[in-house]
Structure 1
Amino acid sequence: NTWYHLEFKNIDFVAKTYDIWLDGTLVRAGHAFRSQSSTNISTMFLYNFSGSGTAYYDDINVGGVSLNLSTMPTDVLCAGDSTGTATVNSSGGTPPYTYAWSSGATNQLATGLMPGGYAVTVTDSLGCVGSDSATVGSPPAILSSSASIDARCNGDSTGSIDLTVSGGVAPYTFSWSNGSTMEDQMNLPVGTYAVSIIDSNGCTSSDTALIAEPTALTLTAVVTSLACFGDSSGSIDVTPTGGTPGYNYTWNNAATTQDLTNLVGGTYTIFVADSNGCSTGDIYTILEPTQLISSGVTTPDNGTNNGAIDLTTIGGTMPYTFSWSNGATTEDISGLVGGNYTVTITDSNGCIWTNMFTVSLIIGLDQGLSAPRLEVVPNPTSGTVRVTVALPATGKVQFSLNDLRGRQIFAAEQQANDLQIEQEIDLSNLPAGVYLLQVESEGQRSWTRIVRQ
């Protein structure tokens, strides 16, 4: 499809013919010269044509006007979009040209191209065809990765995000959901953070990062208060939850253990720190019951077993139980003979209080002021008593000790040369009970009770 245009000058064109050989092959024979001129042709010169019948020949290098193409692609702005273009520039051939791109475009400039290779065919006005291709490139996609560090303690702002960006066309700008425009983020509380990344071509990408936090560090405790006043049976059993395990304990009594035992009553403060240094504390109170004590009002025995003890108990932890030395189990006791009585009081925690009360024995005398006056000590007793007798006059003094049935247990007689005498009586071998001592001097009698414990 290559056309060759030849122009010959200074030739007698009458009755002249010419042959055209191309690379040794006859391509045109006996062709008559015609005098004409044309534009856009190559001009060749043949010399020394003269005379009819004489052949003149020479080798002529004939070159056509070739169709030359060059392409210029423009890469897409962002990975995956269709903003690429390709331009084909044509020269040679015979304008005007028509264009056919593999993308379907029919213009010199093909637009809306995605990354890839595109072929173009250019045809000139004489039907000559040229072809070329162009490759539309793309920057790499914007890639991002984030490494987040969670908040150390519940409720604080110690989280951080380290963002790494590649691809696209640097430099980048950043827009975070918390308003920051920095690439990396610091001092963050718990939450989800979104970032929009824009490169220098205006291409965008997004990423998210989560800042977590430990659950709140809290303490629960089982507190055991004192059972009895003044003891050290208290304890505190502490259980930490939340935070980051690996706890350290500091008590206001200098202890560093998790739990405390053998505590006296009082207030105890604990501080707990987890492995991240997050801390919390609490205050616990070991309660102490008031002291278990008792007091009593005694009613003396006048010799008719009518003594009594009215007991009052306070403190400790109610209810109480009572155990008297005479076997009674009530709080108050009555119908008592003169003597000492011991009570043991036990509260509901097992705390014990012991007290002793003395019921006095009042002796009534049926004689006048001239009767002997008696003093017996100790009374009550479990051994020997000393009887001191104050006499109105000297003379014989008789002693008689009887049980309550009237049986005589002991008898003695002294000659009093003074107005006061003493007599010892051993009761150690006698059963416990009440005995009646009678002292007689010069016809005058006195009586008193002696209690054998």
Structure 2
Amino acid sequence: MAYKLLYFISFLVASISVFAQDRTIDIDLNIKKNNNYYISGGVGFYGSGGGRKLCGKWNRIFINEREKNFSTENNFYNPLKYFYNEKPLTIRYQGHIQRLGWNRYDCDGDDEDFNVPINVVFCKILHDSKEGDGHGASLSYSYDFYVVPLHTLKTSDNNSAKFLPIDVKVPLIAKEVFDNDLYHYEYATEKKRWWFSWLDDYNWEPLPAKFQQKQSIEVSAEDVLGSKARAEEMIGKPIYFRVVSYDKDTGLVCSSSEVLPLTVTQAAPFITIKNIQSPLCNSNETTATVTIQLSRKLLGSLEQYKKNRDAYLGEVFNGFSFIKAGENEKGGDIDGLPKDLTEYFLQHDRIDNVVLRTASVTTNYQIDIMGKFYYLNNNGQRKDIPLYTDDAQHKGRFTVAVPEPLNSFLYYKNDNQCFGESKGVITLEISGGTPPYKYIKNGEEPVLVDDNFVYDDNFLYLSNLPSGTYTFTITDKNDCQILKNGVVSPVVVKIGGPAKPITIVNEGKVNFITHAKGYKRKDGMISAIITGGTPIDSYRYTTQLQASNGEFINTLHMGTGEKKGEFLALYYFLGADTYTLTIKDRNGCTLTKKITITEPDELIINSIEATPISCNPRNSDPNNNSSINSNGTLTVNAKGGVPTYRYVWKRFNKPYTETRDKTITDLVDGIYQVEVIDANENKAVGTYTLTYPDPLYLKVTKSEMTCSAPNGGQATAIVSGGTPPYTYLWNTGHTDAHITGLSAGKYFVTVSDSRGCSVQEKVVLSYPEEVEVVSTIITPVTCYEGNDGKIALTLSGGKGAVNVSWYDAEGTLITQGTTNGGKTISGLKAGKYKAVFRDQSDCPALEQFYEVLQPEKTVINIPSQITICQGDSRSFDLSTAFPSATFRWTDSTGSLLSTEPTFTVSTKGNYKVEITDQKGCKEATTFEVSQSDKILEVDFLAATNSYYNYTVKLVSLSHSITTQWVLPREVTLIKEENGAAEVRFPNEGTYTIGLKGFLDGCEKTVYKTLWVEKDRLGIGKENTSKEVLIDDFGIFSNPNNGTFRIKVNLKRASAIKVYCIDILGREVFPAIEQPEGTTFDIPIENRRISAGQYLVILEAGGDVMVQKMIVNH
């Protein structure tokens, strides 16, 4: 056991020795880059069986609970090295042994094991051991682990030259997976190699604390060295950097990154690209203008630079690099730069209007500065070093926005389906350029595409287009146009459609319509040859023929026409009608034609003309001529059909030889049939019944002899039958049917008709009180213009029945309303009538005259047109005119408004009044009331109390309207002027005076009652002279406040006296007397007059005039 213990102690010492140094210094950089952690150390394991053989033994190592090592060796020390990416948090070491049992054969003896968990601490020795007790199964173990991070260090990839600018920070970037306390940054300004070692040695110093314990930092040379002056001394020289971790126990470096050298140099000014003017249109050559802005002018002396460039110290610009951002590809050309950039930027910090030739698409660009810095090294030699230009602010990044090429293509098109229609649709999709877009269609005025959007902002939609070619010139907001190969390229779209309309090519030709050959025959045809439109295939169309009653015709034959592409639609079995032929093509386009098939007029027998048979065989013909009983003829007249005609005659039920002539002769009575046949075999049948004339009959009438004329006998031959006209022959030699002047005796007459048939007859003449009106009752008409008048007569005398005829005043025979044989006539209007009485004798008629009376016409005194002004009404009182009548006042709708004799209307409308008196007579009148928007105000001043035989002045207060005084009949109007009136009352009593006003068709009357009495003041005397001297008498003003003027004009000179009394007859002030004169102007001021109404009385000679005066305060 002593040996084993010594072994473990030696192992521990060796481990401590090893862990005291940087364990990563000799690890390859690629391994560091590909792994994050390095675990080194070893484990020991020894088990014994106490004299028995071990039958089972093993040990395992777990990192983060995942097995990393398994071993069955015993009595060993196993050195370990692991590279690990996952952060190691725990290490577990396990072991187990078992010895054989007592039979030393089965492995069922006692055992021993261990399970040691270890929490990982970075850069710290992790160590433990245990020694077995040596009894039975005994197990000893030990472990030593050291875990370090594998650091790497780099600067930005952009800092390809590995520069450290003096005053611009560059990044130092370590691996980013570690805890912050594992990051420590060191720098060195010197490097040397020991002669006995392959290792370089550096004068490492920690960076300031603000840069520690961070995964990445940014530093400048000034940050590292502490001052700008010291940093400038290091221009051209390297400064070395590394990131390390320190041992937790010793503080020494336990892990380090590779050494990163950065050369100190001057940073170029920052660059900014401003005022970018991108191209407006996308063309073959696109240019943009920019301003290049530097953060400062170049460092250096302009004077030295101009004087001796070879000795110049400072910054120098070699040019600008113009590339696409993020790429090394050249961005284009730069124009407009100064010839000598260094000289320019020693004086300026910007350049305006730099022209860039750019790509034809929107591109991100970058302009970099290319330059050097000239300095003196430690030996005084002039050296140069590139300026640091790798900072983001050294990259003048910007974007030149080039519009997408303006383009447009046909998104959708809908051709016209039918010839001549305007339903075409064009939808163009527009892209690129700068919206909004405009288009010019076929040279028309430009239109904003926005006005036609139906989809979104990039679509132009046009509808209702006729067929044709449409050329669209499209421009954007900047008037850019669509270019193809550098040439303006409009969009051309053709809206198609049928070249020709659907047409019936044989319309109007002989073969188009075959008319019916006969009346009501259905042998007509329509043969339509169709072209045009869009056939269903190479030639077919859909046709439909409809009769005028709506019925569709199905008798159709379809085929082709004589020419290619012609379609034949043949409809047959057609009768006369106007048909509608509808033709549809593949697109549903329609041609509709009205086609009329005619037919000949119906073949009819227009007439059968007959020459009648002369005489009836039953006549007793004194001449005994039988041929005149069988001399009839028939002639048929046909019309319609299609001439020429053929004829076939037959006689019904009696023997007759068939005849084919138009006229047949020598006919006796019977029924004859004729068949007329036209050129198309249409037939018409007619019959004619040929009859004998009626037998010739003769009767002779005679007149009675009158008392007044004994030789006034008359006889009349009355003939019937035969064939008029007749001829007469009397035995007296007379040849008329009627003979006169006959005396009593026997007379013979022979009558012959027009066809020579004759008969004879004889007559014997053998050998006659006055009409009187006994009473007359005349009933007058009840109502005015009524028709219930009546005349009733009682007659006596006369021969036989007496006929009474009535005539009106105009001599017109009255045929209605008579009864009792005309003796009574009723239903008469007022007027004069004549009665004519005729008996059965030949005496002259008797005439009598009668008159039917009526009441006077009732007149309703209401105007037909009435106008009322605002707020007014119009009243009517018909009680006096119609004392016992009933009344109905209605409006235009017939609604009953009143049944009283008085009625007031205040609204516009149409009105009607119906009056029915006690007899039931009605009278009605209508009147229309209009509403004016004017206000009619009517008023006047008049003394309420006055004296008769005094002149009283009435003063109208309605000055702007027409007025009319309404005076009782007994009141005398002396004078009327300017709306005022002067009147006199003959006696004492009450008088109603009115003033009627008129305005805009309105009228309104205001009435006032005046009391007229004897002169209580004794001013005038009854029966004095009534000479009118006062021409004018006025009170100014009236009303007033007690101060007023009285003006008087007389017709001749006279003294005057003026009184003023109140309504009780008391004098208000003493009478005023004025000497003789004709004109007076009397001022009066009496403020003590109380408010109220007064009478002002003027006396001039024997004339007196009174006026009413109103005083207001």
TM-score (norm 2): 0.22
Structure with greater contact order relative to length (CA < 8 Å, sep ≥ 6): 1
Larger radius of gyration: 2
Higher helix fraction (1 or 2): 2
